[in-house]
Amino acid sequence: MALALLPAGSQAAETSPPATASPPAPAIAAAPSPADQELERGRYLAAAGNCVSCHTRPGGAPFAGGLSFSTPFGLIYSSNITPDPTTGIGPWTAVDLRRAMHEGIGRGGYRLFPAFPYTSFTKVTDEDVDAIYAYLRSVPAVRYTPPSNSLPFRLRFGMAVWDALFFRSGRFQPDGKQSAEWNRGAYLVNGLGHCDACHTPRNRFMAENASEAYAGGSFSDRVTGDTIRAWSAVNLTAAHSGLADWSVDSLARYLKSGFSPRAGSFGPMNEVIVNSLMNLTTADVHAIATYLKSLPARERSSASVPAQLVAAGAGVYKDSCEECHQSSGRGSFFNSPPLEGSAVVQDSDPASLINIILYGPSQPKQVSYNGWETMKPYKDVLSDADIAAVSNYIRGSFDNRAPPVTAAEVARQR
């Protein structure tokens, strides 16, 4: 089974030799040393865990921390995980890092907050944590102390209770009845990929609801600068409101490039794709897609938009959206994705749907939408009532199903 836990498709032949300015390569290139191989593996796994997105503040050095996370209890700042001896994790041993990743406990015994996704990282193998450790030792040490958290200090002690109630430590257990590819995908999604951190709903103590795993989550995040917005992360299960209409191949293509004819990334998923998934081998991304497509359907809501509210939004749709998304809602190969069967449109929490209409997509330079003209922001064109109306129209048409949206919900996201 060990095979399933290796980066799929990462045979020695695929690891490029380190760039050097030395004389032309000898006829027989020296094989990378075991230490270099471990480092390269660690770099790959750190990308799979997207450590850099959370541990780099805007304009700051990679891994030096200081990015803020807003939680219902206050602001939490990510730590400096460069090897700096005083402000970073210089004194940490590999065993210290295992304890942080597997148990959520820092060097010295303090409890970490689950804004650091140790609840997922606990599934990562010892060998993989050790490779990440080797890689983190190799990044430039940066002297920088992140701001202090604006949380009651006592909350750290309270985390012992939280862990006892909501956290089970334990490595990934392969399922012998499934293929090696499925297991590799399950390992990546539930472990380093921590996809559940955003895509699984949480209870009021911020713990994930296991019975609704991957059925869609809600959170706040910044996309540009310091603007923090409410977001919803779609249902990733085979539900009607989830990925039912996606094939494994279109899913793999979206994850690897940020775009498939079914959808383009436009919000917090941008960073997941650009900093993490784009760096994975095609085989690993395919494994992730294979696993996701096997998730049993889970719907969070069975509500639908009443017929008169659907009808009330038809005019706005015709005037503002139909030109690209078509009267059928099927979009067009030449300019736009389908709204029919869209997980963003049918999300039980409309936060991301409202954002894309208000602000348009935020498209990183690495992501290309097939040459499509990007959708314009409608915040200055449509009123809250219009945006609610058009949302209700697309949530209740084209065989889509989702609860209605109110103008007040739109107003909250202005």
Residues 296-325 that bind ligand HEC (CB under 6 A): 320-321, 323-325
Binding-site member from 8, 39, 47, 76 for ligand HEC (CB under 6 A): 76
Note whether 106 binds ligand HEC by CB under 6 A.
yes
Dist. CA 405–CA 413, nearest whole Å: 12
Residues 226-285 within binding reach of ligand HEC (CB under 6 A)? 231, 233-234, 236, 251, 254-255, 263-270, 272, 277
Note whether 198 binds ligand HEC by CB under 6 A.
yes
Dist. CA 188–CA 23, nearest whole Å: 39
Residue with tokens 């909350």: 155
Tokens linked to 61 = 């050095």
Minimum CB distance to ligand HEC smaller for 4 or for 234: 234
- Integer-rounded Cα Rg, in Å, for the chain is 22
- The number of C-alpha atoms within 13 Å of 188 and in the hemisphere containing its C-beta is 32
Dist. CA 102–CA 335, nearest whole Å: 45
Q: Which amino acid is at 369?
A: Y
Residues 320-379 within binding reach of ligand HEC (CB under 6 A)? 320-321, 323-325, 335-337, 339, 342-345, 352-353, 356-357, 361, 369, 372-375, 378
Residues 6+ apart with CB under 8 A from 155: 73, 113
- The number of C-alpha atoms within 13 Å of 167 and in the hemisphere containing its C-beta is 25
Note whether 54 binds ligand HEC by CB under 6 A.
yes
Note whether 51 binds ligand HEC by CB under 6 A.
yes
Number of residues near ligand HEC (by CB under 6 A)? 73
Minimum CB distance to ligand HEC smaller for 137 or for 174: 137
What minimum distance in Å lies between the beta carbon of 22 and ligand HEC? 32
Binding-site member from 197, 274, 287, 367 for ligand HEC (CB under 6 A): 197
- Burial of 333-350, coded b for 16+ CB within 10 Å and e otherwise, reads eebbbbbbbbbbbbbbbb
What binding mask, one character per residue, do residues 110-129 give for ligand HEC by CB under 6 A, x or -? Answer: --xx-xxx------------
Minimum CB distance to ligand HEC smaller for 6 or for 151: 151
Binding-site member from 141, 274, 390, 405 for ligand HEC (CB under 6 A): 390
